[in-house]
Amino acid sequence: MGFVNQNIKPLNTKVNSKGNIEISGCDLVELAEKYSTPLYVMDRVTLEKMANDYKQAFSNYKNTRMMYASKALMTSAIASIFYKLGFGFDVVSLGEMYILKNAGIDLSHATFNGNNKGCDELEYAVLNNIARVSVDNFYELELLDNIAKKMNKVQKILLRITPGIECHTHEYIQTGQLDSKFGFDLHMIDEAIDLIQKQYKNLDLKGLHAHVGSQIFETKIFEDEIEVLLKEIRRIKDKFNIELNEVNIGGGLGITYVESDAPPNVYEVAEITIKAIEKYCALYELSEPVLYIEPGRSLVATAGVTLYTIGASKNIEGIRKYISVDGGMADNPRPSMYCAEYYAEIVNKKEGYNPEKVTVAGKFCESGDILIKDIELNSPKAGDTLCLYATGAYCYSMSSNYNGVLKPAMVLINEGKSDIIVRRQTLQQLVENDVVL
């Protein structure tokens, strides 16, 4: 079946006997007709294969905790699937915690991350027995200690540090470099630990957390991160006489959006990570820690596609031909935010192959609303169904009502069956919070 994150398309994608593209036995033309477009489609087979690859890849390190990075795609159904597969959850908001509770999942299976957690969010987390809070700054240390004290609880925490590592990805999704809004710089750690030991008695420090970025194609960067974390744990042990026994290295494994992308597979990442832990634990004379991994994009991106219907077109002779679809930057803001690239295909049957270079434009009132610039499609015409691949991550979760457009539905497909897991927004829902004076 191959390595999921190295595929552009979901597993079991093929052309069926009707000449249409299908995934896991579901004809995409029929899905578009049944549920309307734009439509998010998630393939359960692909999603579960990637999740099981993660579990298998890290199975040689018994102290691994898999935590799905919920910000990539968070719905009750998706959460339930990952929970049944043995994953915990990395959450970053009150809303994500509430979705977990709505899915019947206890927050004891979750860690809470973020650079400016609100008082209401921390209260909800502590009240509902969140497993760990990754504390990001001095303000949060004091706030969380006060909340835990009022509830007569001791909250287990990690300190999120900025490891000073830069990965070669878009600057908006780098998080580990020194100039970052996230985490304690290394020179701040001693003051934080001193406060926890002497003043913040309702906080129990268990370990360190770092994250170097997203859509990462390098493996060496994971070893570098492990080295920084374990070296710091050794230094803390020598100075404060405590040995922290948990490290959270975040996620960030890249996926293939277009043919030129060449991410490593999860087995390569696991091998270099586990070897690095063994190497630096031996070097610094430390016990092997509990390892938290927070994959997000690599778990869900390839499993998702978005279906659109082609409408108007505009041919500028000698320059470019635009074809417009019935969605765009409101259901997928990534291309307009940071020039993300995608691959797409016409879904419905065509007689022969007649490639035409076009630019796929969204319907929104912005010149920057371009989904794909200069792609060859097979004779695109009004009424055709277009499939944009690898949209499972950061499309639904970043979607908006820009221009008053309704948010799309989402379906889960498996073995020829499809089920709605997010209903299409209605006009009434669009205005239900509006107040008419």
Which CATH number fits the domain that encloses residue 266?
3.20.20.10
Contact residues for 367 (Cβ-Cβ < 8 A; gap 6+): none
Verify that 369 and 283 share a domain, yes or no.
no
d(CA 298, CA 254): 6
Verify that 379 and 294 share a domain, yes or no.
no
The per-residue pLDDT for 181 is 75
Nearest to 210 by CA among 127, 149, 105, 134: 134
State the catalytic residue, choosing from 26, 339, 365, 395: 365
Kindly tell me if the per-residue pLDDT of 171 is higher than 50: no
The per-residue pLDDT for 89 is 98
Is the bond preceding 38 in cis, omega lying within 30 degrees of 0? yes
The per-residue pLDDT for 311 is 98
d(CA 380, CA 232): 56
Verify that 352 and 287 share a domain, yes or no.
no
The per-residue pLDDT for 65 is 98
The per-residue pLDDT for 299 is 98
205 inside domain? yes
Among the candidates 252, 273, 300, a domain finishes at 300
Domain count, the chain: 2
Kindly tell me if the per-residue pLDDT of 47 is higher than 60: yes
DSSP 84-142: HTT-EEEE-SHHHHHHHHHTT--GGGEEE--SS--HHHHHHHHHTT-SEEEE-SHHHHH
The per-residue pLDDT for 170 is 39
The per-residue pLDDT for 352 is 84
Nearest to 97 by CA among 107, 85, 108, 84: 107
Residue 57 dihedral angles phi and psi, to the nearest 5°: -60, -35
Pairing relationship of beta strands 385-389 and 304-316 according to DSSP bridges: antiparallel
Tokens at residue 351, please? 């007689």
Beta bridge partners of 378: 355
What is the pLDDT averaged over residues 432-436? 96
- pTM comes to 0.94
Entry field: residues in the chain: 437
Q: Which residue has the higher pLDDT, 100 or 338?
A: 100
Contact residues for 136 (Cβ-Cβ < 8 A; gap 6+): 113, 114, 115, 116, 117, 160, 182, 183, 184
Tell me which residue has tokens 């390839």. 302
Q: Which helix (H) or strand (E) holds 344?
A: strand 344-346
Render pLDDT for 180-229 as a digit per residue (tens, 0 to 9): 677 899 999 999 999 999 999 999 999 999 998 889 999 999 999 999 99
Verify that 295 and 308 share a domain, yes or no.
no
- pLDDT averaged over every residue in the chain: 95
Render pLDDT for 109-153 as a digit per residue (tens, 0 to 9): 999 999 999 999 999 999 999 999 999 999 999 999 999 999 999
Verify that 26 and 162 share a domain, yes or no.
no
Tokens at residue 123, please? 């209260």
CA 236 remoteness from chain centre: 32
Verify that 177 and 88 share a domain, yes or no.
yes
Q: Which helix (H) or strand (E) holds 300?
A: helix 297-300
Kindly tell me if the per-residue pLDDT of 51 is higher than 90: yes
Contact residues for 37 (Cβ-Cβ < 8 A; gap 6+): 307, 308, 309, 326, 327, 385, 408
What is the pLDDT averaged over residues 56-68? 97
What's 415's domain CATH number?
Answer: 2.40.37.10
d(CA 236, CA 226): 15
436 inside domain? no
339 is catalytic: no
Verify that 14 and 149 share a domain, yes or no.
no
What is the pLDDT averaged over residues 95-121? 97
What is the pLDDT averaged over residues 50-78? 97
What is the pLDDT averaged over residues 339-346? 96
What is the pLDDT averaged over residues 297-323? 97
Is residue 300 within 8 A of residue 73, CB to CB? The reply is yes
Which residue range is the domain that position 317 belongs to? 4-43+304-431
Verify that 59 and 121 share a domain, yes or no.
yes
d(CA 45, CA 342): 21
The per-residue pLDDT for 179 is 62
Verify that 273 and 124 share a domain, yes or no.
yes
Kindly tell me if the per-residue pLDDT of 1 is higher than 60: no
Among the candidates 248, 281, 300, a domain finishes at 300
Kindly tell me if the per-residue pLDDT of 296 is higher than 90: yes
Kindly tell me if the per-residue pLDDT of 86 is higher than 90: yes
Q: Which residue has the higher pLDDT, 19 or 175?
A: 19
Verify that 35 and 139 share a domain, yes or no.
no
Tell me which residue has tokens 């991106």. 301
**What share of the chain in percent tops pLDDT 90?**
93
Tell me which residue has tokens 């502590």. 126
What is the pLDDT averaged over residues 220-240? 96
